Every structure is written in C-alpha cells, then in structure tokens.
Amino acid sequence: MARTLSVSSQQSGAYPTIRDALEVAGDDAVITVAPGRYPEALQLDGRTVSLVAGGEPGSVVIDAEALGMPAVTCRDSKVTLQGLTLHASDAAAVSVMRGRLQIRECEASARYGAALSVTDGATVEATDVKVTGGQFGMLIEDSTGVIDKCDIRDVAEDGIIVRLGADPTIRDTTVTGSGYRGVYVYQAGRPTLEHCEISRSGDVGVSIANQSAPTLRNCRIAGARGVGIMVGRGCRGLIEGCTVEDSAAPGIHVDEGATPTIAEARGGTVGVRTADQQHDGAGQLDPERVEKLLAQLDTMIGLAGVKAEVRALIDEIQVNEWRRNAGLAVGAVSHHLIFTGAPGTGKTTVARIYGELLKALGVLPDGKFKEVARRDLVGQYIGHTAEKTTAVFEEALGGVLFIDEAYTLSRSSGGGADFGREAIDTLVKLMEDHRDAIAVIVAGYTGEMLEFLDANAGLASRFAKTLEFENYTPDELVLIVNRIAHNDDYLLGSGLDDALREWFGQIERDQNFGNAREARKLLEGMRKAQSGRLRALGRMPDRDDLRTLVLDDLLAATK
C-alpha cells in the first residue's frame, strides 16, 4: 500500500518542507501538501512519487523564482503533480527528462523559460493545466504524450513548441495571446492537434517547418497577426476541418515544396506563394517587441560599442518610418552589416537579435536566421557555386543570412579551381536585387574582412556599417563564467572570482583566443576536476558540495 506523508508548516507531526518529506518517501509515496507558499526547487531523479495539493487547486505554491532552478525537475521518474501552482524564473517551471509525468489541475509559469518542458524521450499527460505569462508555454522535444484541456495565455513568445520528432496529442486546448507564434512545429515534429483554439498570436497562428508532418483536425485559428497556418517547404501532414478567421491572407500559406493534405478548410483561402511573393511586403511595427529585444541585447555582457551601434541603426529605421508616414523624403537604407572581431564575442547572438528587431520594426516580414559558411555556398564545378549560393540566399529571404568566416570566400582553397569569388559575385548581385527583403551579415576577423571586401569592387558599398566586437576583458569573462555556472546550477566558491580574473588576465589574446568559448571551456574543465575531487571525498557529497566549484578545481583545470 502506498505511504501517504503530510507537509505543513503549521500542522504538528507534518514535515515542514516538501524536500523533507521527499527524503524519507519511498516508492509510490503520496505527499499531500497543505495550502501555502513553499520556496523550494524539487529534484526528483529516479523516483515514483505523487505531490498533491491538500486544499483547492492552486492553493499550494511551489516557488523557485529566487533559486534559478525549475520548481520541479524529473529525470527517469514517474511523477504525478496535482493541484499545484509552480513558478520559476530562469528555467522551466516543470522540467521532465525521460520517464513519465502526470500533471493535473496545475498552474505553471516561468519568467525566462517554458512553463512545462518535456524532453529526452519523456511521456507527459497534462490535463487542465493553466499557463499564464512567462516566455514560452509548453515545450515538447523528442517526446510524446497527451495535452488535454489545457489553457495557455499571454506568453511572451511561442505558446506551444513541438520539435525533434516529438508526437504528442494536443486536444481541446486553447492558446491565447502568444507574443510570437501560437504553435510552432519544427525539426520533424509530428503532433496531432484536435479541437484546439489558437487566437490572437503576435505572428503566425500555427507555424510548421523543417520537415515536420503534423495533423490538425477541427481546430480554430483566429486573430493572428500573421497567417493562420504556415506550412514550410519540405513539410507534409494533414489539415482537416480547420477554421481560420481574422488573420492575414491567405488563411493557410503553403510554401513551394510543401505537400500537406488540406480538407474542408473554412473561413480563409489557401495560398501557395513563390519565394519572391513571400517576401515582397514588410511586416507590421511592434513597439513592445522592439523594446523587449533591445532589453535582451542590453543583458549581454560587455559589447558597449556594439550595443550603441545597433541602437543607432534601430533609431534611424524608426525615424525613417516616421518621415515616410509624414510624406517626407527617405533615402535608401541598407540593412546589411559587417561584424568584425575574434570568435566567442557574441556576433551570432547579436545577429539573431538584429533580425528579430528588423521584423519587429516591420522592415522584414519574418525574423528567421540562417547561418552559413563557405562550404554551404561554394560548389565543385562551374555554375554549381552560383546555384548553391542562390538557393541559400532564397531560403533566407525575409530574414537574416549570416555568413561566418566570410573572408574564406576570397581565399583560394589551394586545390586547383576555386569558386569562392563566384560566390561573392553572386551575393553582390542578389543583395542588390533583393535589398529590401533580407539582411546579410558577414563576420570574421578584423584584418581578414578587409581582404574579403577587396574581392569585389561593389561589395563594400552593399553594407551599411561595420560593427567591431572587441575581446572581453578579464572582468567580463569572470561575469560570463558566473552566468554559465548559474545556468548550469553551479556556484563559485570563495576567492574563485579573483583567481579567475588573474587567470584570464595572463592568457595571451592571440588569434586563437576564444573569449566566451574560452570561459565555457574553462568551466567545463573545472566541472570535471570537481567530479574527481568529490569522488575522492570518501563520503556522499551533500547538495552544497555538488553545486560548489572551488579554487582547487580551477588549479586542476589550468595545470
């Protein structure tokens, strides 16, 4: 018979915290929690346990916002959560990896993560779960299960994300007021959505991309600022008996190369558009989204000059739009940029934010981001390079094409015929022909990028500005280590900040210096050193031991 344990800060004989009860609970235990607020982050690894609210649903609040961890983490477990309210800040409110989770009559939110994250082959059964606010609603990755009668409202970005082959059934669920997409299915996702309602999405109601094949049956999509349903190239699936209302035309957008089966679509037209047609028009201005993205840029460590340059570009775009609306002359503006600097200085991250900003400003129809290198553009025979470069460029239309180590295009491979220059010549023409439909960003070392710009007489004139990404200072690298450690649930012990600062101060800043990559690599070495140190303790390490990195770990990692 399952053992029942009680948790209450008031009741005599009850456990004062949920963690205390978990420490003594055996398999199949039921932990009944009295109404109240519990500032805890619960780690359930390999457990079979139920956590149940002792009062009305929502009367028990497990609040991990100040702890930087999920309110509940389940790994290889069989867990039931019932009647709870769960809050987190920098992580998912509930995170399940492998195993099985039943979550019923709960409320969940995470300020900078998904309210519910289901990954690594887990199975979820979510019934009557409410998600309000936060960054994302639910994330199902490489997993399965049933989402039934759930309500997701007013999240900042995507309401439900299904990816990496995940195939959940989502039924009788509402997704309302998502800041970006209502439901986003990509990377071969195969969900089934039945009798769901997706309304007031900031962009597309249901977006299907990257070889996905969902089934949408008898769903209603209403009030999306983008199209109701977007089916990307290479995607399949079934759209049956769905209604699209008050969304951008066409109600259902099918890219060339997509092959969904559409039956009994109501309330909106079905359109198939070519690449040029897809990106002819700009989007709509979203001032709130612009401010959120600028705030996200500001949270990046260092890069004061880059942040100022990006803000100046955004200010110029905004003022030009005001001038255009006032009937004043506006000169032609290029959105193409050059990013110079060493690796690991945030160039890719800033490029992604810039693309999202252009979308939020209404300059580009979408904020998608495509990163490529020389191998993606250069072919092996005459004519092949132009074909490859054009295909990549067209895939990125409407968003950002980011070419890393672009200077390699201007160098010979040393193996006979080289077509890097052909790729550059093709890009120059395409950038001119589609100047308002894409932002091209080329990136690389400062000196080498000058060589790249000399490869074609018209290349330099295509770019609006060069942004220089400087190496991080030792103080900034220490902050980066702290941030990465915090996100991975580690703490830096006493004196470690000073030791790290000294270490970073003496490293040679040559062309091989990796900046943030160097910080991450060092932290990984410290974690491995900690593992060896804890194994040698001769006792079971406690929670603080497991979380804390110390000076000896740094010394071992930097031998």
pLDDT in tens, 273-326: 433 444 444 556 778 888 888 888 888 888 888 889 888 888 888 888 777 777
User: Quick check: helix, strand or coil at residue 545?
Assistant: helix
pLDDT class of 195 with cuts at 50, 70, 90: very high
Q: Where are the beta strands (DSSP E) in 168-205?
A: 169-171, 174-176, 183-185, 192-194, 197-199
Q: State percent of the chain over pLDDT 70.
A: 92
Do residues 31 and 24 touch, judged by C-beta distance below 8 A?
no
Non-local (6+) Cβ contacts of 72 within 8 A are 42, 44, 51, 62, 79, 81, 86, 93, 94, 95
**Digit-coded pLDDT (tens) for 473-484:** 899 888 988 888
Question: In whole angstroms, what is the distance from residue 151 CA to residue 148 CA?
Answer: 9
**CATH C-level class of 1-143:** mainly beta
Can you give the pTM of this predicted structure? 0.53
Bin 211: left if φ > 0, else alpha if -120 < ψ < 50, else beta: left
Sheet holding 130-132, edge to edge: 36-38, 60-63, 84-88, 107-110, 130-132, 151-153, 174-176, 197-199, 220-222, 243-245
CATH of 287-469, one of 2.20.140.10, 3.40.50.300, 3.40.30.10, 3.20.20.450: 3.40.50.300
**Range 474-557 has CATH code 3.90.180.10:** no
**Tell me, what's the pLDDT at 271?**
54
**Tell me, what's the pLDDT at 279?**
43
What value does the mean pLDDT of the chain take? 87
Do residues 202 and 225 touch, judged by C-beta distance below 8 A?
yes
272: pLDDT strictly greater than 60: no
The full set of domain ranges for the chain reads 1-143, 157-273, 287-469, 474-557
**Tell me, what's the pLDDT at 81?**
97
